[in-house]
Chains A and B, each alone.
Chain A
Amino acid sequence: MATFRMPSLGSDMEDGTLVEWLKSPGDEVARGEIIAVVETQKGAIEIECFEVGTFDHALVETGRKVPVGTPLAVIRAPGEEVAAAAEPPPAPHPPEPMAASAEPAAPEPTAPEPEPAPELAPAPQPAPTSQPATATGTGRLRISPAARRRAEEAGLDPAVFAGAASPVQLADVEARLAGGAQPSSAAQPGDAGAGGALSEMRKAIAAAMTRSKREIPHYYLAHDIDLTGLNDRLATANAGRAPEDRLLPGAVYLHALAAVLKKFPELNGHFEDGAFRPSDAVNAGMAIRLRGGGLVAPAILGAEALDLDAIMAALRDLVSRARTGRFRASEFAAATITLTSLGDRGVDAMTGVITPPQVAIVGLGTPRQRPWVRDDAVVPRTVATLTLAADHRVSDGHRGALFLNALADRITSTEIP
């Protein structure tokens, strides 16, 4: 008997609303099969189950919003008896430190399968929300000036911390703000209208990026690359391909990134609980902007094992689902590095902000005609600026520079079949 829990889709996620069950009691469940849809700050997400067996019964009805880690359903192992109807549903996890509530989101130890990546602990959580928000009888609130200022800036009443055991610090306020006061309705992706409150997605981006800038000592590198040859080879190859088989430069960048990372494990993985865990698989997050505002960075899982055409197909799939479809939980939780390509309507370069718990983000600016020295002559070439923002706790500029050079070589020398 295994428990299927509300997974965490990122360091910024505290809870989700169960929108739909795709399985009924008695239905067979295959490993990796999508069994539920959950509304989160990132929109509606399909949740896979990493157990094999039979859907026994649901513990949470649709429409309910529950914290990360809450048991959602019971999955019966093959051959196992039907669960006793009297079995009381486990109590939902209290919204305390996310490390605790998120840990159970990982599969049971028996599942040797890539986890819906476990969560890491953010700053300590403030007093439970059950505290009376306006308690004044407990004496004067002890709060640091910086914390009070931050709370006031953000329009957060410091009284919500009433009853806190220790003086309220800035980190407590940030954590509180990152959690945000969740409206009861389902999240709407995208930005709020002008002057409106922050949308759920905006809040999620704000929380993740604030944490990144607070915790990750970024260093930044940039390198110009000549894409003329690659673009010519792509044009030649695409001339013989039907539209559905055509390749875009983005697929080449991603393919090259996955290949080069094998030699630079310090840029691919998760930094959690004070330690870096490199990842064997390259789960490459692709930053995709959403119409109506905001962006998502779902991952192409195991990109190091895919050829150019498979990466292109995966990329197409992600972009079209970003427009009209849904993402799967594992696509968010498992990203080990992010690639952001500004496309052909952008600007020269971007210095990225790393998405925790990842440790690097690679950017490629908009290619354009620039003067370039080639064979002792200045000639017009299609040039783009490749950038890296990486976590100084894990790697240094020297390794970062070697990586960027290797990536540049790989991209520019890619042969198109």
Chain B
Amino acid sequence: MTPIETAIAEELRKIAPDIDAAEIDRAADLRDECDIDSMDFLNLVTALGQRYGLEMPEADYPQMRSFGNLAAYIAARAA
């Protein structure tokens, strides 16, 4: 895993302690894959936004649909 993927996995574990990040389908819808709701997702975005100093606006949520999308989104913007 890249450092960004590791960070996502860490934050996911705080929301879904039962999830094994290695098992997540990188291309599947993250909410379905991890069975997380909108509040969980917002908490995930908040944590990652703070970690990387990113705005992560709602309008960009479609670009963060899957674990892979989210990692790519952060990688493209994180300093």
Show the binding face of A for B, using Cβ within 8 Å.
Answer: 235, 238-239, 242-244, 246, 248, 250, 291-292, 315-316, 319-320, 323-324, 343-345
Contacts and interface: CB of A to CB of B under 8 A. Distances in A.
Given A315-B39, A324-B14, A244 B46 contact: yes
Nearest to A342: B37
A291 B35 CA distance: 8
B64 to A, nearest CB: 11
A243 B14 contact: no
Query: Closest 4 A-B residue pairs measured CB to CB?
Result: A243-B46, A243-B49, A319-B39, A343-B37
Contacts of B28: none
Given A243-B45, A243-B49, A345-B31, A291 B18 contact: yes
18 contacts: A235-B58, A235-B59, A239-B57, A239-B58, A243-B45, A243-B49, A243-B55, A243-B56, A244-B50, A246-B58, A315-B39, A319-B39, A319-B40, A319-B43, A323-B15, A323-B40, A324-B14, A345-B37
Contacts of A344: 37-38
B74 interface: no
Contacts of B35: 291
Nearest to A190: B18
B58 A323 contact: no
A214 to B, nearest CB: 31
Nearest to A247: B42
Given A291-B16, A292-B18, A323-B14, A248 B38 contact: yes
Interface of B: 14-18, 31-32, 35, 37-40, 42-43, 45-46, 49-50, 55-59
Q: Which of A315, A320, A323, A344: most chain B CB closer than 10 A?
A: A323
A238 B58 contact: yes
A415 to B, nearest CB: 18
B39 A345 contact: no
A323 B57 contact: no
Q: Is the interface of A mostly helix, strand, loop or mixed?
A: helix
A316 B43 contact: yes
Contacts of B15: 320, 323-324
Nearest to A319: B39
Contacts of B37: 319, 343-345
Given A345-B31, A345-B37, A291 B17 contact: yes
B38 to A, nearest CB: 6
Contacts of A235: 58-59
B16 A323 contact: yes
Contacts of B59: 235, 239
A248 B42 CA distance: 9
B66 to A, nearest CB: 15
Nearest to A235: B58
A344 B42 CA distance: 13
Contacts of B31: 345
A323 B42 contact: no
Contacts of B39: 248, 250, 315-316, 319
A345 B32 contact: yes
Contacts of B57: 238-239
A326 to B, nearest CB: 14
Contacts of A345: 31-32, 37
Given A250-B39, A291-B35, A324-B17, 13 more contacts: A243-B42, A243-B49, A291-B18, A292-B18, A315-B39, A319-B39, A320-B14, A320-B43, A323-B16, A323-B40, A324-B14, A345-B32, A345-B37
Given A291-B35, A324-B14, A345-B32, A246 B40 contact: no
A323 B13 CA distance: 10
B42 A246 contact: yes
Contacts of B43: 316, 319-320
